[in-house]
Structure 1
């Protein structure tokens, strides 16, 4: 059995929440998790849309992590 380890250079993660506070909490939690992998935030893109069925806002974000 051969085990090879490779370092993650880039990672893109997607987040969504029904309110901005929850979205921020999810992103912060994942930033802490990715610090263990030696990844830092390279860019963040966020958007607000309205859910078609409920008419309530839906907050989304895309976070690009890169190796230090």
Structure 2
């Protein structure tokens, strides 16, 4: 399952979006620990590219299922 993570960064006009194979619980734990220690959040996407964000600059994190690649109507 691919998970889409959207990170709002303070003073940035656009949010960062990363699609990863990590579980939502693992991502939540990573973000919570980084904020608690004042560290950085490092996410690796499906293509192996890394995104690093200083925890002190995070405005919000939205974790959800990716909708990429879906075609047609859903009920």
Determine if the TM-score, normalized by the shorter chain, exceeds 0.5.
no
Larger Rg: 1
Bigger proportion of residues as strand: 1
Q: For CA contacts below 8 A with separation 6 or more, give which structure has more relative contact order.
A: 1
TM range (shorter): 0.3 to 0.5
